[in-house]
Amino acid sequence: MRYLGIDYGSKRIGIAVSDGEGKIAFPRKIIPNDEKLFSELAQILEVERIQEIVIGDTRAINGGENAVTKESDEFAERLKDTIDLPVHRMREALSSAEAMRFAPKGKHHDDSSAAAIILQRYLDAKR
């Protein structure tokens, strides 16, 4: 079972994919959050043979909403309505901070690494 992980952002989307067994998540790419987003996601889903999608839930550690929560929730609902695959949510709290540990010194984290962390949390929780 192959999974797609998404780290949603208002400007860019981090993408990660799992191995064929659905055990390990790997950062894949970053795509712009623009008018081509859904067609690009559809292409990735086909090429990678994705069977389920995991989107990071942007709520804070205490469960409160932040500046991007509403937009992220709307994105998740639109994805559910347009793509015929199961869509799951997974807490993404601190995933960007965790991804910073893997960034070269002085560089910003890679959104695809944050997506891989979110996806790996989901895969680990399923076991």
Distance from C-alpha of 118 to C-alpha of 10, rounded to nearest angstrom: 17
Per the rule left: phi > 0, alpha: psi between -120 and 50, beta: everything else, 30 is beta
Predicted TM-score (pTM) of the model is 0.86
CATH code, 98: 3.30.420.140
Pairing mode of beta strands 3-7, 12-18: antiparallel
User: Can you give the pLDDT at residue 104?
Assistant: 46
User: Can you give the pLDDT at residue 106?
Assistant: 54
Which structural domain range is residue 109 located in? 3-126
User: Can you give the pLDDT at residue 110?
Assistant: 80
User: Can you give the pLDDT at residue 56?
Assistant: 93
**Structural domains of the chain, count:** 1
* Amino acid sitting at position 125: A
**In which residue ranges of the chain is pLDDT below 70?**
60-63, 92-109
User: Can you give the pLDDT at residue 59?
Assistant: 74
